[in-house]
Amino acid sequence: MYQVGNLVKELSDKHGHTRENLIPILQDIVHKYNYLTDEAMVEVAKELDISAAEVYGTASFYTFLDTQERGKYVIRICKTITCSMKGKSDIIHTLEDILKIKVGETTADKQFSLIETNCIGWCHKAPAILINDMPYTELTPEKVSEIIKDYMKK
Ligand code: FES
């Protein structure tokens, strides 16, 4: 849990105090703190003069606007059709085996979270994942296993 302090005010001043600036403000908070707390969402609602329900609804709609604390590395695996047809399940099983968590969970050391997401725009090189902002594509169980082991050494 973090304190939003003056951050919401600063971001609202930077982006603007109107409804259309909601997403950039939320993205900046997530960029800084990794997820949105209830307190942060209420503060944003106050600054933009909209309801907290609207802020929460927007945050829940976009998978990148996390409303719960995640690990240092957030692995987002595409669950959309092309990736599914190209072996997404094998990639998930490999990740679950290596990390010893299920989809939706975070490792006990708070290093990795594993979550599913909609298409991330790499369908032509499916199956694909993102680790934070970095895409990894044309994955095989062996390839993803090497990638994660490299992250474990960081
Ligand atoms: S379907 Fe997976 S990246 Fe588009």
Q: Output the CA 92–ligand 1 centroid distance in Å.
A: 14
User: Which residues on adjacent β-strands are paired with residue 129?
Assistant: 77, 136
For residue 82, which atom of ligand 1 is closest to its CA? 1
Residues 80 and 49 placed together within one structural domain of the fold? no
Number of independent structural domains in the chain:
2
Residues 145 and 81 placed together within one structural domain of the fold? yes
∠ CA 11-15-18, rounded to 5°: 105
Secondary structure of 63-125 as H, E, C letters: CCCCCCCCCCEEEEEECCHHHHHCCHHHHHHHHHHHHCCCCCCECCCCCEEEEEECCCCCHHH
68 within a domain of the structure (yes/no): no
Residues 84 and 129 placed together within one structural domain of the fold? yes
Q: What is the pLDDT along the chain (154 residues), one digit of tens a residue?
A: 667 868 999 999 999 999 999 999 999 999 888 889 999 999 999 999 999 999 999 998 887 888 888 999 999 999 999 999 999 999 999 999 999 999 999 999 999 999 998 888 899 999 999 999 899 999 999 999 999 999 999 8
Domain hosting 125: range is: 73-153
Report pLDDT for 101.
Answer: 97
Q: State the Cα–Cα distance between residues 25 and 44, nearest whole angstrom.
A: 8
For residue 83, which atom of ligand 1 is closest to its CA? 2
Residues 130 and 83 placed together within one structural domain of the fold? yes
Mode of pairing for the β-strands spanning 112-117 and 73-78: parallel
Residues 117 and 89 placed together within one structural domain of the fold? yes
139 within a domain of the structure (yes/no): yes
Residues 98 and 118 placed together within one structural domain of the fold? yes
Q: Output the CA 88–ligand 1 centroid distance in Å.
A: 10
Task: Give this prediction's pTM.
Answer: 0.80
